[in-house]
């Protein structure tokens, strides 16, 4: 029986660790990361810790990104 590809990738990550790259910059403190190997996602939280990027976090981050961009735009005009 052939091992499904994503199962193999998860196994690789379990052994050698994830290879995270920045997928989205939310604010100067909050960044979303994605593993290049298995595509799992993480986010930094307001406390500076890494957490699994749940749909709830995605929603929070989207709101934060909008607020951040708005504030940044105002700063650029002023």
Structure tokens at 65: 């990104």
Q: Does 42 bind Zn ion (CB under 5 A)?
A: no
Q: Does 65 bind Zn ion (CB under 5 A)?
A: no
Residues 41 and 23: beta-carbon distance below 8 Å: yes
Of the ranges 21-29, 33-41, 57-65, 69-77, which one interacts with Zn ion (CB under 5 A)? 33-41
- Binding Zn ion (rule: CB under 5 A), the pick from 30, 33, 34, 38 is 38
How far is it, in rounded angstroms, from Cα 9 to Cα 14? 9
Reduced to 3 states (helix: H, G, I; strand: E, B; else coil), residue 3 is coil
Where on the chain is the footprint of Zn ion (CB under 5 A)? Answer: 13, 18, 35, 37-38
């Amino acid at each position: 029986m052939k091992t499904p590809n994503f199962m193999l990738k998860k196994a690789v990550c379990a052994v050698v660790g994830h290879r995270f790259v920045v997928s989205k910059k939310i604010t100067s403190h909050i960044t979303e990361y994605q593993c290049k190997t298995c595509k799992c996602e993480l986010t930094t939280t307001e406390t500076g810790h890494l957490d699994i990027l749940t749909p709830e976090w995605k929603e929070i981050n989207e709101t934060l990104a909008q607020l951040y961009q708005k504030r940044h735009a105002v700063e650029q005009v002023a």
